[in-house]
Structure 1
Amino acid sequence: MTKNEVFEYGERIARNVTTITLILAILKFIVAYYTHSVSILADSYHSFADLIPISAAWIGLRIAQRPRSEKFPYGYYKAENLAAFIASIFIFLLAYEIITKSISTFSSKNTVEHSIAGLILTAIFVLISYILYIYQLKAAKISNSQALMANARETKMDIFSSIAVFIGFFGSSMGYPWIGGIVGFLIAILVIHAGYQSIRDSVLSLMDAGLPKEDIEKIRKIILSTPRVREVKKIYTRRSGPFIMVEVEISVPEKLNVKQAHEIASEVEKRIMQIKQVDHAFVHVEPPTKSRKIIAIPVNKDHSPSPTFGSAPYFEIYQVEKDEKKLIKTVKNPGANLEKKRGVKAALFLIEQGVDEVHTKNIGEDSKKILEDAGIKIKFK
């Protein structure tokens, strides 16, 4: 999906969920009025509370589709986070309303009416909540919308709260209305918990909190897999709406010219941008700070040094750091069996391997020039 398609999809889902949630809340309110059930009334308030964050997500996803401008060079993605934050505040107010309604049941002597119809309808509400949860969860994963995911978590709790309402309604129908009050308190706790999760996630995004350590390590591995990258010094990440912004500092061999360093940085940016949800990647290049280098040595099948470079069947790749030499791997020379340009093919292959030096007894002029132009040092041994 393109960025616009992601937002349009998320907006459509938010609009559909808003409509369904509104209908569900109204139905619960009607059933509560019809049966005189405080627990169902509290659950209807809970559903009305759900309308606030999902409506905010709808509005935020719509605003986030605006193109970048001079004033907002990174786009309007955080509109979704801001909308979720504002909506979270209202959730706590509705929790207070549920608590006050629940307290009144302890002094009430009224019991519920139409108990069988109420129990059937409450069971239907549980089923609807489950379907709505699956629908939102799938959409949230596809669009990576923080607001949709938060609302999916809230809907998941709706399932449990509706089950609790079913129990409370049954107790009230048996002549114990205070059970409905206790259930109302439980629902209020769920509402407060949902509000806390929503406000926490939105604040973290608004404050530019970084990604979890495991995600940072995945990005680090992708960068280090890029040829000629010696070290990843720093990785900065932050979320903006459903997207991720990444800025990194890397080191490359110091003998590279500006053009070569720029090509490596562009390749790193390209690889980072292939990560799902990444919308922006910036790479800063610096010379290496560690005394580490990668050395390639052409060898024969018995691992003895090869007298030639291009026709050597294998290359042994070593890592040298602080005068310690360690064999990393042995790789086949892709140019060994070619009729022509064997050395050229081997040289290009070693560039891809991120080699700093080549130790060889003999090498052709074309191969030598390719390696030296790439900043690779050649030692005759």
Structure 2
Amino acid sequence: MSENTLAQTPSGQAVNVERWGWYSVAVNVVLAAINAGIAAASGSLAVKAEMVHNLVDLLTAIGVLVGLKLSTRKSKEFPYGLYKLENVVTVVLAGMVFFTAYEIARDALFTPARQATVDVWMLGGVVVATIIPLVFSHFELHVGQAANSPALIADAKEYRTHVFTTGAVFAALLAQWFDFPVDRIAALVIVVAIAKTGWDLLSDGMRVLLDASLDAETLFQIREIIIADPAVAALKWITGRNAGRFRFVETEVTLRVRDFEKAKAITQHIETQIRQTVPHVERVLIHAEPVERTHLRYAVPLAAPDGAISEHFGEAPYFALVRLRLADGVIEEQQVIANPHQDVEKAKGIQVAEWLIAQEVDVVLLRESLRGKGPLYALGDAGVEMEEIETETLADVMAEAAVRSKVDYGS
């Protein structure tokens, strides 16, 4: 079984879309045979119109198979794959539907009148021809939506039209049974239903072929995933498009980290989160650049509000949060806050680290080494830098930080 014909549902279950294409071919063969037999025996224009409808659908079902088979193939000429081929098939399907509607309308308006013959077995055959597409379309539409396959969805909608048109055929034959000829009217009703289906298929297919954007709900969902990552300082823009049953996403973000390897790991993590949350995402392109810093926000664990630096991180009773202007080393803001997680029994250091990340801290200055400990990884993944110090007071450590900022960032 080719992997190109498999699609993942949001629950992770694989769907063989090509197999459903073959099912559609088989169903159309059965429907065409039933209606051909009834049309030959009855001479009904409405039944003949429905038979032509089935034959056109048989050809388009074969076209759906071609689209499903080739849509994920890649080559040197098409390195990103033929993802839109399914939508091309959908547009071709719409053209076939319009042609069918034209042929039926022409026969209904200009073909000489003919008395139809009706028997009980014909009515039973039409009932069967109504039930088959009704049941099949229910399952095919469910599979098409799960696999996000426009070709299968279009095919299922076309079968829904058959339920209506065969109902019109049944009404025409039943009326003829009571010597009330409405054959031409039923044929024209079928024309209207078929034309509407053709328009829906054409508009849906062209929307994707013209690179229409992803829907607002999906873009919002992706946006929330990105900004939820603590290492993301800002989301500049995000866009996305459909190509067949696949989705392509592109975005630009600024990150709190400057190290290339860390930035790469963060973008890979964001991409994984998007793929796991949003189904049918084929490609995620993230443009990342480091945030342009004019200030640094420091966090320093304190043993007391007077500025004595604590020997511990998670158990420190207070934290100083200091905003330093890099150009001249001036402290613009300084506050001392009680550690909200000091009395937590388990994972105290992790919770403190997450709290500091939420405070948008850039650098943590501390005397305790966090090597090999959970807070180190939590802070590092969020792009927060850690520096071990030997200074004993907040005033001294911030004076050193001010000197370093003048050297590194001063004019």
| TM-score, shorter chain, exceeding 0.5 | yes
Q: CA deviation at 1:334?
A: 9.4
- Distance in 2 (CA, whole Å) between partners of 1:293 and 1:52 is 66
Residue of structure 2 equivalent to 1:272: 274
User: Would the aligned equivalents of 1:314 and 1:333 in 2 still touch at CA under 8 Å?
Assistant: no
Is the alpha carbon distance of 1:138 and 1:316 closer, same or farther for their aligned partners in structure 2, counting shifts above 3 Å? Answer: farther
User: Would the aligned equivalents of 2:25 and 2:62 in 1 still touch at CA under 8 Å?
Assistant: yes
- What is the aligned length? 355
Q: How do residues 297-312 of structure 1 correspond to structure 2 at under 5 angstroms?
A: 309-311=313-315
Letter in 2 for 1:116: V
- Distance in 2 (CA, whole Å) between partners of 1:314 and 1:28 is 83
Letter in 1 for 2:116: V
Is the alpha carbon distance of 1:315 and 1:57 closer, same or farther for their aligned partners in structure 2, counting shifts above 3 Å? Answer: farther
The worse-fitting range, judged by mean Cα deviation, of 123-132 and 166-175 is 166-175
User: Would the aligned equivalents of 1:34 and 1:113 in 2 still touch at CA under 8 Å?
Assistant: yes
Give the RMSD, CA atoms, in angstroms. Answer: 3.9
- Distance in 2 (CA, whole Å) between partners of 1:164 and 1:71 is 48
Letter in 2 for 1:21: N
Residue of structure 1 equivalent to 2:264: 262
Q: CA deviation at 1:23?
A: 2.1
Which residue, out of 180, 183, 207, partners 1:180? 183
Residue of structure 2 equivalent to 1:72: 78
- Distance in 2 (CA, whole Å) between partners of 1:201 and 1:297 is 57
1:225 aligns with 2:228: yes
User: Would the aligned equivalents of 1:228 and 1:355 in 2 still touch at CA under 8 Å?
Assistant: no
Letter in 2 for 1:126: T
What's the secondary structure of 1:311's corresponding residue?
coil
What's the secondary structure of 2:369's corresponding residue?
helix
Is the alpha carbon distance of 1:180 and 1:77 closer, same or farther for their aligned partners in structure 2, counting shifts above 3 Å? Answer: same
1:169 aligns with 2:173: yes
Q: CA deviation at 1:135?
A: 2.6
Q: CA deviation at 1:281?
A: 0.8
User: Would the aligned equivalents of 1:256 and 1:375 in 2 still touch at CA under 8 Å?
Assistant: no
- Distance in 2 (CA, whole Å) between partners of 1:315 and 1:70 is 58
Residue of structure 2 equivalent to 1:22: 29
What is the percentage of aligned positions where both structures have the same residue? 25
Residue of structure 2 equivalent to 1:120: 124
Letter in 2 for 1:139: V
Which residue, out of 143, 149, 152, partners 1:148? 152
Letter in 2 for 1:28: N
Letter in 1 for 2:216: K
- Distance in 1 (CA, whole Å) between partners of 2:219 and 2:339 is 29
- Distance in 2 (CA, whole Å) between partners of 1:332 and 1:169 is 79
Residue of structure 2 equivalent to 1:212: 215
User: Would the aligned equivalents of 2:313 and 2:368 in 1 still touch at CA under 8 Å?
Assistant: no
Is the alpha carbon distance of 1:159 and 1:290 closer, same or farther for their aligned partners in structure 2, counting shifts above 3 Å? Answer: farther
Larger Rg: 2
User: Would the aligned equivalents of 1:296 and 1:357 in 2 still touch at CA under 8 Å?
Assistant: yes
Residue of structure 2 equivalent to 1:38: 45
Letter in 2 for 1:80: E
- Distance in 1 (CA, whole Å) between partners of 2:46 and 2:293 is 65
User: Would the aligned equivalents of 1:359 and 1:380 in 2 still touch at CA under 8 Å?
Assistant: no
TM-score, with structure 1 as normaliser: 0.79
